[in-house]
Amino acid sequence: MKCRSVACIWSSTPFPHRVTAVAALTELPTPTFYTAGSDGSVIWWTLSHSNPTSPPQVKAVGVLCGHAAPITDLAVCSPIADAKNGYGSSGSKFSALISACCDGFLCVWSKNSGHCRCRRKLPPWVGTPRIIRTLPLTPRYVCIACSFEDYSVNSIEGNEGIIDRETQPRKPPKSTILIVDSYLLSITQTVFHGNLSIGPVRFMALVLGDDEKRNSVFVADSAGRQQMVLISEDRGENLASSHGDTGQLESSFCCEGLSGEEQIVEVLTYGNVVAFILKDRCVFRLLNGDSMIGEVSFVDNLFGLDRGSTQTHAIGGIFLESDDVGNVCDANEYGNSIAVRFVVWNNVGYAVIYNVSYQNDVFQCEPHAEIPGTHYQPDMKLSIFFQQVNQYLVCIKSVCFNYEEPLLWRPLVTIWSLNRFDDEPGRLYCRCRMISDGVSFTNWFEKSTQLKGLDDLETTPTFGASPSSDDVDNTHVDRISNYYTYKGKVVSSSMIISENLFTPYAVVYGFLSGEIEVVRFDLFQGISFDDASSSPDEKSTACKQYFSGHTGAVLCLAAHQMMGSAKSWTFKRVLVSGSTDCTICIWDLDTGSLIMVMHHHVAPVRQIIRPPSLTAHPWRDCFLSVGEDACVALVSLETLRVERMFPGHMNYPSKVIWDGARGYISCLCQTHYGTSDATDVLYIWDVKTGSSERVLRGTAAHSMFDHFCKSISMNSISGTLLNGNTSVSSLLLPVVDDARFSSSPLNRSDNLLTSSRSSPNISNMTELNSSKTNAGKGNSVKRNSSSLIGLLSSKLPIKCSCPFPGIVSLCFDLASLMLSYQKNESMDNGGGKPVNINLKQQGVQEQSPSHHNPETLEGHDLVSLFEEYLLRYSLSFLHLWSVDRELDNLLISDMKLRRPENFIVASGLQGDKGSVTLTFPAQSATLELWKSSSEFCAMRSLTMVSLAQRLITLSHSGSAASSALAAFYTRNFLEVFPDVNPPSLQLLVAFWQDESEHVRMAARSIFHCAASHAIPLPLRNSKPTELPNMSSKTGSRDKHLGNMAEESITPKAEKQGISQDEESKILAWLESFEVQDWISCVGGTSQDAMTSHIIVAAALAIWYPSLVKPSLARLLVHPLMKLAMAMNEKYSSTAAELLAEGMESTWKECMVSEIPRLIGDIFFQVELSGPSSKSVTEISDASFSIKQTLVEVLLPSLAMADIPGFLTVIESQIWSTASDSPVHMVALLTLIRIMRGSPKNLAQYLDKVVSFILQTIDPSNSVMRKACFQSSMTTFKEVVRVYPMVAVNDSWTKLAVGDVIGDINNASIRVYDMQSVTMIKVLDASGPPGLPTLLTAATSGTMLTTAISALSFSPDGEGLVAFSEQGLLIRWWSLGSFWWEKLSRHFVPVQCTKLIFVPPWEGFSPNSSRSSVMANILETDRQLNFQDNAKDSNHGDSLKQLLHNLDLSYRLEWVEGRKVLLTRHGHELGTFQL
């Protein structure tokens, strides 16, 4: 399980975003909509109401980074069949967003958690995905139309119209129609693959047939030709049926008002009606007929408002779904009657809403309302989308002012109400009321340029009564023209430099103006590895560095640590930048001076690629530059010359990777940037010779490129393709599921999720050490390092990447942060090797850590100093500053944290395969993530609390701040923001068995704080008692015990009162194995999903019984037992602990019959780990710790729950298992645990216990005696210590056991010989010989009573004295050795030699179980009454009563000679002369 927290660093200027697709998830309470951009980013917006009456506000929450190419379409889907994930059933059927980009990548984004559930690339033969439509009846599946057509996103801008030649394609384009499962993004059916009879697919809709089996896909091209493709049910054959041939279709169009030349703007379907929107009109037809049923001209309304010289035309439309019309697939719509609203908009954003109705072959289309457009300016470009979100219409305009600056697109969002209108005199029809105007995600950039006071930023859109369109337009224009001020400062490329393995060193931004800015992290200034004495508080003077030398925009960056040892150059760290001015500049990072400008490209330089780790000597100080002149060059930093040119590519190679181990470079040239096409070419070059190795085309090129990526990431140290410290987007290259660590499941999930993150370079690190400290020994260092590196690399605590220019994400991995240095403790035990590794990890060179030389200890201090800094750095970037000012001040003063002053920091969530979700820096955006995502809450609070706890252990100074921080994230945060989602309990449970103790403790404490708020819906008790409210607030355990008691008193009928239906819901929830969102967040499997459900339910059933349904325990107990015995590394220990903890209160009555079987299973597991089965070394640590939990925690609680069953099992084990089996030892240890846990319950079985212990030391079985002797003696000592009625003589040769509880007429004491382990004597301890009739027990006959309360051998071992509380008697047997021997084998009960009555002492209470002779004489009447009751009450109850009142504190001690002292609880009760 991975717990990764993401911090995101934003540049101070907004990033460009031109909308190419929109989609909305309208589920309440916070409807969201998404806009996808041509750069591959998806912006996540919410419509939130501050209160129910106020109009909604639009907020830009964050950006979803999963694509590196233009996005072609967005759709909503529902990957998990039913939204039963706990916190409330969703009214809507959609729970996720699916996005597709030109590059063939698909991503599924969960609405609730906001992270990317799944990211996958479609196979190359499919082509480029164009349109996504969700299947209406099964929203888990989506239909995707793909094509290989020559088609770039620019053509769907809408203003310019689509290129003419597309109407007469040269050859029929190849198309693919797929059905994809959004759960794992796997292709489940290929509906069509081949050439359609129409042009390139532009529009697609799904048409439901009469029955479910005959669904079909409706496709149309830009000329209006259409075709239906049937989705065949048998997934083998694909039927393609076209409505007549193409010629007829075209002719029918011409006569029905569509000429072949006209461009269709949009094709919409609603029920049985198809609407073809052209530039100046809209034509309506039926799906199943060729005839036109109606037409609407836009000339009057859309063109009536003349915009001067601007040519306006329709560019899009949508059908509106209204609540009253009901679902699209309503029956009456197939009876050719329809009533719906329909919106059409033109290229300046002016829109008209029409009411369309079609009944009894009569078509009507009336304009209903209008939405005003924008003042069009000659130098302004617009791209406009409308999206319905419930009863609002959202207009999303992307505005760009300058044709030369394609980077400056900005989205603006305006909301219009569909229900409220403003009538204005002089207008033809009413106008929709504007709800909010011109909201953009750039608001906070404008305010944050000062970088101070960012905390108070909120995006506040302007409200008010609807202004006239002129006002609206002017405000827009003013707003938008602000962007001119950014022109030079727009970030065109960025990267993060991770100097050594662990900590980022600086962020580098390249701007449009050609300037480069390096911002260093000042948190780490002052840690220098050469000199540990330098003060860590020294603040760096230069936090920002500027490099100016380029005349055009900086497009790519890379940083490199020099490896070689040549004397000629002085620089160690180099920054390389490429620009649109066709030059490459090489800078010295330390001094800021320009080393060299290179002019070997004749077009803009797009990428700089660093050598992979472990590249051989001449190449490791080189880099590759890739230019738009289709040329790749290899430049050496040692010689500062171009060493190789790789020319002759077909066009710009968009994807280039370097395989350092084998010495190859592969360059993939795509015909159209970001699309898969049959004409793509892959060139493979040999680095050493500079010659072309081979050229592959089409889908083979893509497959070979993917294969190349796989082998590179296998050999690369960091497990990633890009070797860090470069601005190439981490999302660009295909993701490789790394197979190196696949043997261990833990690492597998790690690599699935993080293999594509660009991570810091490792080869830097060792070289850095050798060059600094002992340059002479460089080679030896390198040799060791390569073997260590595999060990270190999978645990990089902070992984950095730049998904888009200007956005840097830091991913903090909790496991590596907590475990990175814990091995250091082995230094004190003289374990040298791990320490050596760890110090190298820091970049500290050691000679031989096995001797405790002073240098090593200094290194150890340095390591802990470094670790403190690493934790402080992580806390500084992950903490939610400025929510609680007092806490902030405490953290700064007490814990020495530093607020990241020079950076604009936000938070985020790690997704599948390198994708990330990042919030905008405004605090409201981060809070939106806290509110919507219980997974984010759980992971962030877990990380913060664990890191704070770890920091306490390292430096005790910050303990107050640390506990305040823990309290803030567990409790106070929820109090400040009550609408924050409680953390996901299942996710917390996944970390209950984490390797690090701090993480385990944090996960449990957060679980307890959140449990009462976050009980999953199927388990929640619908009618709880009054108590839980108090208990959920206080969370105190006593209250819960109170609840438990109350629950046990409620009548049985109410307990059973749970319906069959509820029960099946609980079972369905417990057995649901679908990968929920939280599972994909931590990289678990479906097995984890099931097991954690069981654990969560069990924990709630034990600790919060009144808050969950009463029958939960009964349904849970069997799955929980199976889980405990499944030896699952992550959960079995937890399951065993829960079974043990709730045994008495919760589970016992449900499983009493199965306890002996479970005990037998545990013994079987113990037997498996025994010496006879296999060598101890083969047992893994995990299974060892699970067995430890089973034996130390679960077994004693099972044994206490069913003591006779346990004793039966262990007695049978003596004969059924090997004599040297560990089972016998475990049984003895468990007996000790029972004696300490519930001594009174075991008291009545003392005989069995003693005989079992004696069997283990039987001299006739020497093997067992040898194995168990020590444990058996320990157990005997414990028995004698706990039970006063068991005694041994001083020489440990004789042992006496008295009846604890017995019939008063035949109580006895048995004496054993320890050498021969046989019984040698029975002593009679039956009722006192005098006054028999006065004792109630004598008259009742079978009355049980406490027989012997204490025993003691005389110092010489020849006599035995016994005390009975019942009757207050002391008996004395004076048995000389002669008697012992002579009567040894005749077990006739021996009468006592002397009997002494003990006078009652002060405070002695004569009750039913403790009555003296005197009490009996005095209270005969009362006793007789009691006796009648006792006869009626059953035997078991009186036994329980006796056990409850059993007093194990009596002791008999010998004092001088023949005197014996009786004590109780250490108080003397009297001395008696024998």
- C-alpha dihedral (1314, 1315, 1316, 1321), degrees to nearest 10: -40
* Predicted confidence band of residue 405 (pLDDT cuts 50, 70, 90): low
Rounded to an integer, what distance in angstroms lies between the CA atom of residue 414 and that of residue 476? 11
pLDDT score at 233: 67
The tokens for 228 are 């239906």
Please write the tens of the pLDDT for every residue from 311-322.
788 888 999 887
pLDDT (0 to 100) of residue 425: 65
Evaluate if residue 559 carries a pLDDT over 70: yes
Alpha-carbon distance of 19 to 441, in angstroms, equals: 13
Q: Report d(CA 778, CA 1345) in Å as an integer.
A: 84
- Its sign, for the CA torsion 860, 862, 868, 870, is negative
Residue 622's pLDDT is 92
The per-residue pLDDT for range 95-144, each reduced to its tens digit, is: 899 999 988 899 999 988 888 999 998 988 888 899 999 988 888 999 99
Closest CA to 1097 of 1112, 1111, 1114: 1112
Task: Say which range, 277-281, 360-364, 1237-1241, 1385-1389, has the weakest mean pLDDT.
Answer: 1385-1389
**pLDDT surpassing 60 at residue 381:** yes
Lowest mean pLDDT among 991-1000, 1194-1203, 1325-1334: 1325-1334
Side by side, the strands of the sheet bearing 554-561 are 554-561, 573-579, 584-588, 594-598
What confidence category does residue 776 fall into, taking pLDDT thresholds of 50, 70 and 90? very low
Tell me the C-alpha to C-alpha distance, in Å, between residue 452 and each of 9, 57, 584.
Answer: 15, 25, 35
Determine contact, residues 309/298, Cβ cutoff 8 Å.
Answer: no
Are 934 and 982 in contact by the 8 Å Cβ rule? The answer is yes
Give helix 1112-1125 / helix 1060-1071 axis angle, nearest 10°. Answer: 20
Residue 503 CA to residue 759 CA, distance in Å, equals 11
In angstroms, the CA 566 to CA 562 distance is 10
Q: Confidence band (pLDDT; 50, 70, 90) for 784?
A: very low
Longest dimension (CA), the chain: 132
Q: Is the pLDDT of residue 1473 over 50?
A: yes
Tell me what pLDDT residue 623 has.
Answer: 93
The amino acid present at 1314, given as its one-letter code, is M
CA angle 274, 275, 277 (to 5 degrees): 150
Bridging pattern class, strands 491-498 and 19-25? unpaired
Helices and strands of the chain, counted as H and E runs: 39, 62
pLDDT at 605 over 90: yes
Q: What is the share, in percent, of the chain residues with pLDDT greater than 70?
A: 72
The pTM of this model reads 0.83
The answer, yes or no, to whether residue 525 has pLDDT greater than 90, is no
The backbone torsions φ and ψ at residue 1395, rounded to the nearest 5 degrees and listed phi first, read -130, 130
β strands within 279-361, DSSP E: 281-286, 292-297, 314-320, 338-346, 351-359
Q: Give pLDDT tens digits for 684-739.
A: 999 999 999 999 988 888 888 988 888 887 776 665 666 677 888 878 876 655 33
Tokens of residue 196, six digits: 């359609």
The Cβ of residue 1050 has, within 10 Å, a number of other Cβ atoms equal to: 11
Can you list the alpha helix ranges (DSSP code H) found in 482-588? none
Q: Tens of pLDDT along 1310-1352? A: 988 888 888 888 888 887 655 444 444 444 445 678 888 999 9
Q: What is the secondary structure of 1264-1319 as a DSSP string? A: HHHHHHHHHHHHHHHHHHH-TTEEE-TTS-EEEEE-SEEETTS-EEEEEETTTTEE
Q: Enter the tokens of residue 899.
A: 């607020």
Residue 30, SS3 per DSSP: coil
User: Is residue 1378 scored above 70 in pLDDT?
Assistant: no
pLDDT tens digits for 324-336? Answer: 444 444 434 445 6
Residue 463 DSSP SS3: coil
For residue 859, name the pLDDT band (cuts at 50, 70, 90). low
Q: Is the pLDDT of residue 1023 over 80?
A: no
Spatial distance between the Cα atoms of 983 and 1039, rounded to a whole number of angstroms: 23
Q: How far apart are CA 1067 and CA 527, in angstroms?
A: 56
Give the helix/strand (H/E) hosting 1336: helix 1336-1340
Residue indicated by tokens 């500079």: 690
Closest by Cα among 291, 340, 331, 325 to 210: 331
Average pLDDT, rounded, for the chain: 76
Amino acid (one-letter) located at 919:
T
pLDDT of residue 359: 83
In whole angstroms, give the CA distance from residue 562 to residue 639. Answer: 12
**Helix ranges (DSSP H) in 1411-1467:** 1413-1418, 1420-1432, 1435-1445
Indicate the burial class of 178 (C-beta count within 10 angstroms; 0-12, 13-18, 19 or more): buried
pLDDT in tens, 1274-1313: 999 999 999 999 999 888 888 999 998 887 778 889 988 8
Q: What is the pLDDT of residue 821?
A: 52
Res 674: pLDDT: 58
Q: What's the first-to-final CA gap in the chain, in angstroms?
A: 70
Confidence of residue 91 (pLDDT cuts 50, 70, 90): very low
pLDDT tens per residue across span 901-940: 778 899 999 888 889 999 998 888 888 889 888 899 999 9
Q: 586-603 burial, b for 16+ CB within 10 Å, e for fewer? A: bbbbeeeeebeebebbee
Q: What is the mean pLDDT of residues 598-626?
A: 89
Torsion, CA 271, CA 277, CA 283, CA 288, rounded to 10: -40
For position 863, what pLDDT does the model report? 74
Q: Picking from 48-57, 203-212, 448-457, 684-693, which range would have the lowest pLDDT averaged per residue?
A: 448-457
- What residues contact residue 1140 under an 8 Å CB cut-off, 6+ apart? 1193, 1194, 1196, 1197, 1198
Rounded to an integer, what distance in angstroms lies between the CA atom of residue 1009 and that of residue 976?
Answer: 15
Alpha-helical segments (H) within 1011-1151? 1027-1034, 1037-1049, 1052-1056, 1060-1071, 1077-1082, 1086-1103, 1112-1125, 1132-1141, 1148-1151
What pLDDT, on the 0 to 100 scale, is given for residue 36?
Answer: 94
Q: What is the CA radius of gyration of the chain?
A: 40
How far, in Å, CA of 1299 to CA of 1276, rounded?
17
Residue 1097: the pLDDT is: 93
Neighbours of 28 (CB within 10 A): 11
More confident residue, 439 or 212: 439
Cα separation of 803 and 821, whole Å?
30
State the Cα–Cα distance between residues 1153 and 1148, nearest whole angstrom: 9
pLDDT at 170: 56
For 831, residues 6+ apart whose C-beta sits below 8 A from its C-beta are: none
Q: How far is CA 1270 from CA 11, 1180, 1224, 1275, in A?
A: 70, 27, 12, 9
3-state secondary structure of 629: coil
Q: Where are the alpha helices (DSSP H) in 414-489?
A: 443-447, 469-481
The predicted pLDDT at position 567 comes to 60
306-310, 643-647, 720-724, 830-834: which has the minimum mean pLDDT? 830-834
The band of 502, judged by pLDDT with boundaries at 50, 70 and 90, is low
pLDDT at position 349 over 70: yes
Task: Tell me which range, 101-115, 143-157, 356-370, 455-469, is most confidently predicted by mean pLDDT.
Answer: 101-115
Model pLDDT, residue 1423? 47
Of 1038, 1043, 1128, 1136, the C-alpha closest to 1089 is: 1128
Question: Please, which residues have CB within 8 angstroms of residue 972's CB and are 6 or more apart in sequence?
Answer: 884
Three-state secondary-structure class, residue 962: helix
Distance of CA 634 to the CA centre of its chain: 42
What confidence score (pLDDT) does residue 45 get?
92
Higher pLDDT, 1049 or 683: 683
How far does CA 11 lie from the centroid of its chain? 28
In this prediction, residues 1229-1241 reach a mean pLDDT of 91
**Range 417-428 average pLDDT:** 74
pLDDT at 725: 77
Q: Coil, strand or helix: which one is 1066?
A: helix
Q: For residues 862 and 1416, which has the higher predicted lDDT (pLDDT)?
A: 862
Residue labelled with tokens 């319950």:
1241
